[in-house]
Structure 1
Amino acid sequence: MTVFAWSNYRDVLAPAGAKALAAAGILSRASISTVGLGILQLVSVTRGGYRFAGLICGMYMLCAALGALFWSRVTEFRGQRWVLHRTAAILTVGTFGILFFAATDSSVADLMLAAAITGSGIPPVGAMIRARWTVLHVNTASLNAAYSMESSLEEILFMTGPPIMGFLDMVNPHIGLPMVLTINLIGMLWLAAQPGTEPPLDLTDHRYQNAVLTIRGMPILFATSFGFGGMLGALDVAVIAFAVAAGHEPLGLLALALWATASAIGGIIYGAMRDTIATDRRLIVAVTGLWIAVLPLLFVEDLGQLMVLLAIGGTFMAPAMAIVTGLAAQLSPNHSLTLALGWISAGTGLGVAAGTVIQGWMDDIVDHQPVFIVSAAFASLCVLIAWRGAPSLRTPVLHRRLLTPWSEKPGPPRH
């Protein structure tokens, strides 16, 4: 028997509606790595600097992170279509608010309010789409491939977003933000128009709906995703700082693109692998490989060494995130799936914010410190959490009983 089963990806897209789901998923995540940058570009031009632009961008990111958790919770009771329609309306109002206030002589408070509304209109699309893949491929070998495909797609979106926004900024700094948000809205409405893949509501069991993080193993996965985010946030800042210090800032962007490309390739390869070991052990292997690849960054001396190490380390990133997602889906009951996946996304987002801030503080305050010490610290945290928490990640009997196909437990009609 071969190690790889490339037919997994053909099986992922085989069910009715799967191709449309994949396409809508790409469009509905156009905001990844673009909206924050678009706000910076627009506000810096209209307000003459980055002082207020960074503050307004931070407001957007904070509200987007908190809003994702709120909407994940609402999704479990109202359904994805209900949430997508409401968030699309909120996102439209917020977008027009930013564009209007940026074009007029409005106060910073007005722009922050518009940014807060815009962030609140970003639904947990990643969690929603993964929940739909779980419906389509519950208890099949194709589910890991679907999660890996999603992780790889997100890496590609992260990689291509900033260059696209940079190009649009050179053309006209006013067009980037409305363009990506329009694409995002189209994807959200297209996703809402696909009821065939939407998880039906299950309002019969409320034991975990108010306390997802009390489910055995979920705190470990949340902490691990936070560590991943912290490492990524710190790494982005550190790579650019290292390249600037070497006098080759464009090569820093190339190095980050190399990391993202390697991660996407690693995710695709992982999704094609056959399940030969338990998922919790796969997490340990992926996190340990990532840690081993990141630690040598402490001793890197030139950009060539940096690119080689990033290419190696990146191959473990998307598989590790796909494994965390898969474990969260295994541990959570049907009715809490979107909320559980939302917590994983929130953990990553909060980690990115923390890593970015800490790395920036280290660069400004502490002299003569290894550039990548924050990234290495977060990677070490991930290893510690994964090794110590692995026993709690084995799916309990109770949840295995609850993880039956949704078709056996139809939800109430949608309105």
Structure 2
Amino acid sequence: MVAKHYARIFRAPGSLGFSSAAFVGRLPMSMLGLGTILMIKESTGEYALAGLVSGTLALVQAFFGPFLARLTDRRGQAEVVFPMLAVSVAALVSLMLCVRFDEPTWSWFASAAVAGAFLPNVGALVRARWTKIYTGTAQLHTAYSFEAVMDEVVFMIGPILVTFLTLQVHHEAGVGLATVLLAAGTTAFLAQRGSQPAPHPPEHHTGPTAIAIPGMRVVVVCAVAIGVMFGSVEVVTVAFAEEHGHDDWAGLLLAVYAGGSFVAGLLFGAVHWSVPLGRRIQLLLALVLVTSAPMAIAPDIGVLALVLLLAGFAISPTLITLVALVEDLVPAARLTEGMVIETTGAALGVTTGSAVAGWVVDRSGAHTAYLVPVAGSALALLTALLGSRWLRPGDPAIE
């Protein structure tokens, strides 16, 4: 029944093709950060340097992403993203060569910065195509849900793949495969020009930028806070497993967390909800907080696995609703910009959450560090409650 529900969205011509290509093109989003860390750590033995280089890529991407997304809305996906892809792929190759031949570390940071600045946000691009096809219909909710589920699959497959290749095959193999997938998947996606949204003429861009819309600022803060939760849960769960003498269980625990989100996303997308988006995000963020709080008091691996499974059920529905809010709040001429701002906000939160959680683990242990994801979810809920009056379409500031 659920499969038939999702099959309906692929009746649109070209939809299966661009969605499949986008899946391949965004696998690297779950591989490049970890792959860069492992590559540099294996080459130098320095975790701190590895984290700084990887963080540079993520932070520069978060800064430049909205500007390039705005240009994409104005000029079209293929015209803007093809050059971005070429520069980003070349910079990733440069990073691998600089590490391989032990070039000065400034060249590592420069390569990572250029790669991040021009890294295409394929997840935002594919959601913009679904919006073009199904805007104003119930199928758009299903399409967003499908892509959220694909994101979960990406984050289940990518880290395992990049870890195996980097540690078992070659130091540069993980980042190398991520670069190949980025180039091949994004090229195949952009080549399908018939489904891309039409560029919006300059006169459609005279209003405020996406981030100037009050509701979008609420969405971004929520996305950053949820990102803090994601990033910290990964770090603290690994530390928790090590503290309890089961470091080999860390991957399984994170897979359980992602698996709960995967199942919830499938089920959530198969139901059409009548609750307004603003109210829906508040209810879902309350569920995120309630299900994440027990992480801080889990006594052992078995209980933590159950807690992570339950907590995972709240994740995909929340992310799906945040994306739907962007589509509701942002004018069509700025849709890609809005999508990229939301996703880069989450990515920035992941980087921040990982760093903060690592600091707390070193000083107070994993149990205390689980308060970091709880704090992130609490901040997201508080933001949605305080900003509720802006989480409605038709805000005068949007026009």
**Mapping 1:125-274, distance limit 5 Å:** 125-169=122-166, 170-203=168-201, 204-208=203-207, 210-274=208-272
Q: Normalization by structure 2: what TM-score?
A: 0.94
Residues 102-128 of structure 1 show CA distances to partners (whole Å, capped at 9, x for unaligned) of 232411111221122222231121111
Among 349, 358, 372, which residue is 1:360 paired with?
358
> What is the aligned partner in structure 2 of residue 54 from structure 1?
51
* Cα offset, 1:91, TM superposition: 1.8
Residues 77-133 of structure 1 show CA distances to partners (whole Å, capped at 9, x for unaligned) of 221111221112102321221232223241111122112222223112111111111
2:61, 2:344 within 8 Å by CA — same for their partners in 1?
Answer: no
The amino acid that maps onto 1:17 is G
Q: Is 1:116 equivalent to 2:113 in the alignment? A: yes
State the aligned residue count: 397
> What is the aligned partner in structure 2 of residue 308 from structure 1?
306
> What is the aligned partner in structure 2 of residue 64 from structure 1?
61
Residues 249-306 of structure 1 show CA distances to partners (whole Å, capped at 9, x for unaligned) of 1222211110101101111111000223222222122111111101122221111111
> What is the aligned partner in structure 2 of residue 75 from structure 1?
72
Check 1:81–1:27 CA distance in 2 against 1; reply closer, same or farther (3 A cut).
same
Tell me the secondary structure at the aligned position of residue 26 of structure 2.
coil
For 1:189 and 1:368, how far apart are their aligned partners in 2?
A: 42
1:5, 1:273 within 8 Å by CA — same for their partners in 2?
Answer: no
Check 1:15–1:354 CA distance in 2 against 1; reply closer, same or farther (3 A cut).
same
For 1:399 and 1:143, how far apart are their aligned partners in 2?
A: 24
Among 3, 11, 16, which residue is 2:13 paired with?
16
For structure 1, the 5+ residue unaligned runs are 403-415
For 1:12 and 1:368, how far apart are their aligned partners in 2?
A: 43
For 1:369 and 1:327, how far apart are their aligned partners in 2?
A: 34
1:227, 1:379 within 8 Å by CA — same for their partners in 2?
Answer: yes
The amino acid that maps onto 2:321 is I
Among 21, 30, 37, which residue is 1:40 paired with?
37
* Cα offset, 1:13, TM superposition: 1.0
The amino acid that maps onto 1:155 is E
**Mapping 1:291-306, distance limit 5 Å:** 291-306=289-304
Tell me the secondary structure at the aligned position of residue 204 of structure 2.
coil
* Cα offset, 1:399, TM superposition: 9.2
For 1:317 and 1:70, how far apart are their aligned partners in 2?
A: 28
For 1:134 and 1:82, how far apart are their aligned partners in 2?
A: 19
Check 1:90–1:381 CA distance in 2 against 1; reply closer, same or farther (3 A cut).
same
Residues 164-206 of structure 1 show CA distances to partners (whole Å, capped at 9, x for unaligned) of 1122121222322111111111111111111111111122322
Tell me the secondary structure at the aligned position of residue 395 of structure 1.
coil
* Cα offset, 1:48, TM superposition: 4.4
For structure 2, the 5+ residue unaligned runs are none
Q: Is 1:84 equivalent to 2:81 in the alignment? A: yes
For 2:365 and 2:17, how far apart are their aligned partners in 1?
A: 51
1:284, 1:383 within 8 Å by CA — same for their partners in 2?
Answer: yes
Deviates more, 1:128-137 or 1:39-48: 39-48
Among 22, 25, 28, which residue is 2:25 paired with?
28
Among 346, 349, 363, which residue is 1:348 paired with?
346
The amino acid that maps onto 1:146 is A
* Cα offset, 1:371, TM superposition: 3.0
1:69, 1:124 within 8 Å by CA — same for their partners in 2?
Answer: no
The amino acid that maps onto 1:244 is E
> What is the aligned partner in structure 2 of residue 412 from structure 1?
none
**Mapping 1:257-406, distance limit 5 Å:** 257-366=255-364, 370-396=368-394
2:284, 2:314 within 8 Å by CA — same for their partners in 1?
Answer: yes
The amino acid that maps onto 1:206 is H
For 1:234 and 1:76, how far apart are their aligned partners in 2?
A: 33
Deviates more, 1:382-391 or 1:289-298: 382-391
Check 1:263–1:185 CA distance in 2 against 1; reply closer, same or farther (3 A cut).
same
* Cα offset, 1:155, TM superposition: 1.3
For 1:367 and 1:390, how far apart are their aligned partners in 2?
A: 36
* Cα offset, 1:64, TM superposition: 2.3
Deviates more, 1:128-137 or 1:72-81: 72-81
Residues 329-388 of structure 1 show CA distances to partners (whole Å, capped at 9, x for unaligned) of 011111010001111011101111111111112122346962311111111111112222
The amino acid that maps onto 2:145 is S
1:333, 1:399 within 8 Å by CA — same for their partners in 2?
Answer: no
Q: Normalization by structure 1: what TM-score?
A: 0.91
The CA RMSD measured in Å over matched residues stands at: 2.0
2:360, 2:368 within 8 Å by CA — same for their partners in 1?
Answer: no
1:30, 1:181 within 8 Å by CA — same for their partners in 2?
Answer: no
Tell me the secondary structure at the aligned position of residue 126 of structure 1.
helix
